Structure 1
Amino acid sequence: MSHEFTVEAGLVIFSYDGRAQFGWLDLKTGAYHAESDGRCIPDAIGAIEFHSDVTH
């Protein structure tokens, strides 16, 4: 692509039961939260960064 994107990385969060969802990490508490409704994901086991070239 000929231009640079300014979209920041998001997270794909994995739950203990095998589900994956987009979300964010609360730096103060260390808890993961769902992007869809902001609720805490209590059974999260990890996350990876997700880089996109568009926002929604």
Structure 2
Amino acid sequence: MSHEFTVETGLVAFSVGGRAQFGWLDLVTGSFHSEADGQCINDAIVAVEFSSDVVH
């Protein structure tokens, strides 16, 4: 690959209201984004790494 990705591992991000969604952390901005649509998760308060042995 000719460039570095700014995304590391997949995450499950939890919002203030208790909503959980798959997402990723932008290493440049430090913000969490939804895997479903790429939108910033503005109210994310915590995230945990998610690993799977199945690639989709």
**TM-score calculated relative to the size of structure 1:** 0.82
Q: 1:36 to 1:42 in 2, by over 3 A?
A: same
Kindly report the root-mean-square deviation, in angstroms, between the aligned alpha carbons of the 2 structures.
1.3
The amino acid of 1:27's aligned partner reads L
* Superposition misfits of 4+ residues, deviation over 2 angstroms: none
Deviations 1:1-56 (A, max 9, x none): xxxxxxx8410000000000000001111000000000000000010001100011
Q: What are structure 1's unaligned runs of at least 5 residues?
A: 1-7
Query: Which entry has the higher C-alpha Rg, 1 or 2?
Result: 1
**TM-score calculated relative to the size of structure 2:** 0.82
Partner of residue 3, structure 1: none
The percentage of counterpart residues that share the same residue type is 69
Q: What are structure 2's unaligned runs of at least 5 residues?
A: 1-7
Secondary structure in 1 matching 2:17: coil
- Greater relative contact order, per chain length (Cα 8 Å cut-off, separation 6+): 1
